[in-house]
Amino acid sequence: MTASIGTFYIQSAFATNHKPVFTIEKIDGDEKEVESLLLTGFYYNELTYMGEKFEISLEETKYFEDSSFFERIGGVYDSPRIKQLQKEYRHFMRGKYYGVNAYFENEDYVAYADVSYKNPYAISSELKFSIAVLDKQTNKINSFHHLVPNSGDFWYLNVLNVQVIDSQLKVITQNDMKESNRKETHLYTFDLVKNALLNDETILSAENKTDEHIELRTLHVDDPTSERANLVLVKTNTTVSEDGYMEEVTKEELVVYDIASNTSKTINLENLSEYGYPEYVEGSNVYFVDNDENGTQKIAIYDLASEQIVTDFDVDFPDSETMWSIGFNDGKLYFVDSFIDFEKPAHVTVVDLEDGGILFKGEIKSTDQKGTAEIYNIEFK
């Protein structure tokens, strides 16, 4: 450890101080709309041929190289939500995986569920649930492990969502099968009093074929760790050529799974294709986003209860010669240019998803520097 720390400080001492500083500058609107915005990107210096990850917020530009040794070990670019949980529940969070979908928090509990592996490539591999629940009232932690039923059938399990409902822990996973190209979405229900598995239910199954590929994708939500009524996924069927290239989307469906009642419904997206693609869900609203030929962004709101589009509108945002990234938070849509040209600022636009009103317009500017910078992730503190 001593050698590692020494090496770190030597490297830091030789680090360049001439990296660009990025600032978010307001053109119009309320600056508070970007106070929680956190952009992750990569800077490449064309003079030194060196590159480095960075974060941009309203307050500062932070480079990975400038982080302390212990920040790097702890994961300086972990999810802001994970950092918050680590700060508030340090003892509970110790030694746990940092995937945000593996956590749940409400007024009474903080819960965690993930899957540990014992040689996943072996025929008789063991997959075990690692479960921990903190009771906020008593400050007691209930931890236990449970073997995944038929664990030898799966390559791995990816946790999509964790919920605590009426003294039961519900864990939704996507399972990759060993003996076929099938993916299954499972709901595992645990009794938190007896620390026992009550039920293992397959709620969705999709098998890839030689000429067809099926993809399952969950929609964006504000906080994956919060209580929610539904898990909403998009199921996409795509034809595959003889050369293995995906060619044409033949079918798209919205799968809405009610977590409390263990029921699901499927909505054919063919009749909604004119509204673009579902990206974000907040409560009972699913938000469709589409970019038309003129660069105008089209937004449509689909109500899950009435199963219809309740409103749609167009949003005009600054012309851009580069690709852009989008993020969703608190009923708002964030557009950020993906590429920062040091001779031309990148745009930041915040849209109110209620009516399409522009809440903030701004630019990302940088100090003069030879190099390129790319924004590839949008998060919120």
Within a domain: residue 122?
yes
Which of helix, strand or coil describes residue 52? strand
Alpha-carbon gap, residue 333 to 287, rounded angstroms: 10
Residue 108 has pLDDT above 90, yes or no: yes
Paired tokens of 21: 């500083």
Cβ atoms of 364 and 24 within 8 Å: the answer is yes
Paired tokens of 299: 């937004």
Within a domain: residue 33?
no
Within a domain: residue 189?
yes
Q: How many residues in total does the chain contain? A: 381
Tokens 């940088």 locate to 366
Paired tokens of 208: 């890839």
Cβ atoms of 257 and 203 within 8 Å: the answer is yes
Alpha-carbon gap, residue 144 to 8, rounded angstroms: 38
Q: What is the mean pLDDT of residues 270-275?
A: 92
Within a domain: residue 348?
no
The domain of 115 spans: 78-207
Task: With cut-offs at 50, 70 and 90, classify the pLDDT of residue 3.
Answer: very low
Alpha-carbon gap, residue 194 to 53, rounded angstroms: 46
Q: What is the mean pLDDT of residues 205-213?
A: 81
Give the phi and the psi of residue 357 in degrees, each rounded to 5.
Answer: -65, 145
Alpha-carbon gap, residue 254 to 277, rounded angstroms: 10
- At 121 the pLDDT is 56
Domain count within the chain: 1
Residue 102 has pLDDT above 80, yes or no: yes
Within a domain: residue 322?
no
pLDDT in tens, 211-245: 888 888 899 999 999 999 999 999 998 888 777 67
Within a domain: residue 179?
yes
Task: With cut-offs at 50, 70 and 90, classify the pLDDT of residue 13.
Answer: very low
Within a domain: residue 299?
no
